[in-house]
Structure 1
């Protein structure tokens, strides 16, 4: 199924709205894609299905999913009340050579400048093929959201630079967290140790906390949920 390149954000949103209400199984059937039994071995399958449906072009390249539009695609599993079920992975965190990097230069900042959020009704008891695609929407961070993200990023990067990588826990940060991101415990990468020495550790990824994405959803859909205070 050959997709015509999208030239505007409006076209992308229209395409996204055209699949809202479909189950993942229905969309997969349209695209002639097999549905896995579960996501244990196919964690990225839902995102890949949506990328295929919407014509995302980035693949695994370090560019936005829709390069011509500068828009990143993020699926967001939610429950019946519209609350996110988990934190949202954004990108791999650099663990070396980041001393002089600023927030504005960072890959995570660039990825979050313009996001197409696609909620998926994905409570665990719902079989994968029966999970429902919600109404996608475009989001750009407000000044307060940018400030909150930047503050967390700067604090986390300072800990990484000063050799505190092993002190960082998921509770660090108000809106952004750093967590291990690896297929298994043997996938190690270079980092800085407590005394400035080179060490090997698990790769880390940046994740948006569920409370942050819940506030985004609340504003978009006027849900009965208080906005997050930054």
Structure 2
């Protein structure tokens, strides 16, 4: 595995070097096989890019490049550059959360500095033939930070008030809370409406497509 990059500039240069490569070419470099489809290997692309760029955090609750304070996010796009799915940020805490503040949240930590790597995601392109796009190094501007904070505070308030099971994907302007589990038996503890402990599916924070589409549009001057 390549050594972790020592600077933001080195990381961006590595990401720019692989732009235009196919996933099959990167998989060959890494000595791994390409899955036929991604239904059972949903995280395969992200892991491949992490390996190529020298990410070190793995599944720990910190950025993928902790020494640089940068998170890596691969983002599948259609031919017009529109993201094809929401973007997972991190798992949401469901207990022991009263008094948590946005400034100390894992969501803010993960999104403070992000290296976005667009990848062709249309299903009619075989996985190995999908190409990697030019990267984007991003931090939220004041407006984006305010929107993210508002959504985080609204969703966390609902969790604290025992309304986690009333939260739907419609809640939040730019970020939503959704179940995140391999199956419906992977339950975790949460707070019920009367303050009692309940068991529910784990939840994750996800960025909505319109939000990430806006980032790509502004950076790459894509058609609206």
Query: Same fold by TM (over 0.5)?
Result: yes
- In 1: Cα distance, 2:3 partner to 2:164 partner: 44
Structure 1 residue runs of 4+, over 4 Å off? Answer: none
The residue that corresponds to 1:209 in the other structure is 208
Range with bigger deviation, 28-37 or 185-194? 28-37
SS at match of 1:104: helix
The residue that corresponds to 2:219 in the other structure is 220
The residue that corresponds to 2:18 in the other structure is 19
Task: Give CA-to-partner distance per residue, 1:173-193, whole Å, 9 cap, x none.
Answer: 000000000000000000011
Offset of residue 4 of structure 1: 3.0
- In 2: Cα distance, 1:63 partner to 1:194 partner: 31
- In 2: Cα distance, 1:4 partner to 1:54 partner: 8
Question: How well do the aligned residues superpose, as a CA RMSD in angstroms?
Answer: 0.7
Offset of residue 33 of structure 1: 1.1
* Structure 2 residue 144 is matched with structure 1 residue 145: yes
Task: Give CA-to-partner distance per residue, 1:160-181, whole Å, 9 cap, x none.
Answer: 0001111100010000000000
Offset of residue 124 of structure 1: 1.2
Give the alignment of 1:1-230 within 5 angstroms.
2-225=1-224
Offset of residue 194 of structure 1: 1.2
Offset of residue 70 of structure 1: 0.5
- In 2: Cα distance, 1:5 partner to 1:160 partner: 37
Aligned residues: 224
SS at match of 1:133: coil
Offset of residue 65 of structure 1: 0.4
SS at match of 2:28: helix
Offset of residue 223 of structure 1: 1.0
Offset of residue 62 of structure 1: 1.5
- In 2: Cα distance, 1:215 partner to 1:109 partner: 19
- In 2: Cα distance, 1:30 partner to 1:6 partner: 18
**Structure 1: 5+ residue stretches without partners:** 226-230
Offset of residue 90 of structure 1: 0.6
Offset of residue 114 of structure 1: 0.2
